[in-house]
Structure 1
């Protein structure tokens, strides 16, 4: 597992690490390739932080370091787009403007509410909060599909009152199957995001049972990402993935260049 396709640096408001620090750390770990995917969440501000960035200097820095570290690591240009249906038209124009190799579509908000904030679950049950989040994913998929994979599909469980204690694929099978089928029908993939281990969930996002079901339904496009915001979290828990993914039926994972997939054998 030598490719990390979900990484953040100081172009994201929740990271203090420079782009070069992240690149040098990835080289030190022996990664063959990494894809920078900083947060581009329009119409989203929390605690005075804006979750979007000026893309022109981002691309300039990327090109500078791509040249500087050529031969040491393959550096690819990506972005993580925070999806909301009303942003779809602007996002369509945006993704055509820049030479991204890879785009993650993610849900950080459900109907304008952030699961990270405690008030997300006020007045509702945990199940209602989870279902609202999954329903919002379906709305996003219907509105916009200009990305290659959907990120951390069950991100909401990181912040639920009981987190993943009572969460399972079977409990939400109806809506999760609908999401997976909608992505597969559009030729889109999902990611396996190892930050769930960092957050103490003892699982990836999505849950391995969701990954297994995605494969059963015919899904093949699966990228691997640590969601690292600091150098020490790059490729977090990647040694666990070979057994996990082969156990879910996967023989390959996916990397992207120019938004085109390449399938790499797991073992």
Structure 2
């Protein structure tokens, strides 16, 4: 089973790749299944219906306004309509699944409850990500500023635990140790946060949720998988079984990137026996 379960298109604020191009590339690569998971990040981005959409600072220099990247969530009616059209058009060539990536914070849970209730029937899959904490971003160091390495790592994992304790409308935890990608202080010892991560994974497992192996670690040049092998092993040792593979591709260049390397790690190093896909929110196990 070749399935990429973390893919972005023009409906994400940080991608300009057309959905149809991601689908065509997936077919060319021989994928059995593709799940589109465009971004929703309440707290730092608006829905299109709210108006007054702003554009990324510093972006779009010399570009027409329509070519700039808006800081907005998915245009839901257009997104679902286009997905349905492409699903029908390419149904004989690939199995397409519809997802979203929810960048949840404790203070925005109510927005995601409302969103999920509105579009539950459209969704096969929901990634849950911690992209911001207190509406502060990681990539620009706003979240880390004024905190020690210990403080921002622990605050990140505490937010993740608090979110999944209260919010259950998701399928899989995405890139569990995302904070490490933006840690300019160097690699933080896993032992220092192991107990916190274990509590997160225990709760996810008890709720019937999974985690993903996000292959973007290869093209970002990270020194380990995302999440790390330590986290993958811990999840399995605690009884976790549901795992997906996602490229986090924002362009066709990285679609299904290093998927077979991910397979090798999951099967031969960690010992997983199955890979999972989803339909209407239900996990489906497949042999590797």
What TM-score, normalized by structure 1, do the two folds share? 0.94
- The aligned residue for residue 7 of structure 2 is 7
The answer on 1:80 being equivalent to 2:101 is: yes
The question of whether the paired residues in 2 share the 8 Å contact of 1:169 and 1:207 is answered with no
- The aligned residue for residue 147 of structure 2 is 124
Query: 2:152 & 2:231 partners in 1: Cα distance?
Result: 19
Query: 2:134 & 2:31 partners in 1: Cα distance?
Result: 37
- The aligned residue for residue 28 of structure 1 is 28
Query: 1:31 & 1:203 partners in 2: Cα distance?
Result: 25
Query: 2:237 & 2:192 partners in 1: Cα distance?
Result: 18
Query: 1:217 & 1:142 partners in 2: Cα distance?
Result: 18
The question of whether the paired residues in 2 share the 8 Å contact of 1:169 and 1:176 is answered with no
Count of residue correspondences: 264
- The aligned residue for residue 260 of structure 1 is 282
Query: 1:101 & 1:174 partners in 2: Cα distance?
Result: 31
Q: How far 1:265 sits from its partner (Å)? A: 1.1
The question of whether the paired residues in 2 share the 8 Å contact of 1:42 and 1:51 is answered with no
Deviates more, 1:80-89 or 1:147-156: 80-89
- The aligned residue for residue 175 of structure 2 is 152
Deviates more, 1:84-93 or 1:12-21: 84-93
The answer on 1:216 being equivalent to 2:225 is: no
RMSD value, Cα: 1.5
Alignment equivalent of 2:118, drawn from 80, 97, 100: 97
Deviations along 1:188-224, whole A, 9 cap, x unmatched? 1111111111111032211011011100001111111
Deviates more, 1:209-218 or 1:85-94: 85-94
- The aligned residue for residue 212 of structure 2 is 191
Deviates more, 1:3-12 or 1:180-189: 180-189
- The aligned residue for residue 270 of structure 2 is 248
The answer on 1:63 being equivalent to 2:72 is: no
Runs (4+) off by over 3 Å: 45-49
The question of whether the paired residues in 2 share the 8 Å contact of 1:155 and 1:206 is answered with yes
- The aligned residue for residue 47 of structure 1 is 56
Deviations along 1:151-175, whole A, 9 cap, x unmatched? 111011111114xx42343231111
3-state DSSP of counterpart to 1:119: coil
Query: 1:91 & 1:156 partners in 2: Cα distance?
Result: 22
What TM-score, normalized by structure 2, do the two folds share? 0.88
For the pair shown, which has the larger CA radius of gyration, 1 or 2?
A: 2
The question of whether the paired residues in 2 share the 8 Å contact of 1:148 and 1:188 is answered with yes
Unmatched segments (≥5 aa) in structure 1: none
The question of whether the paired residues in 2 share the 8 Å contact of 1:4 and 1:33 is answered with yes
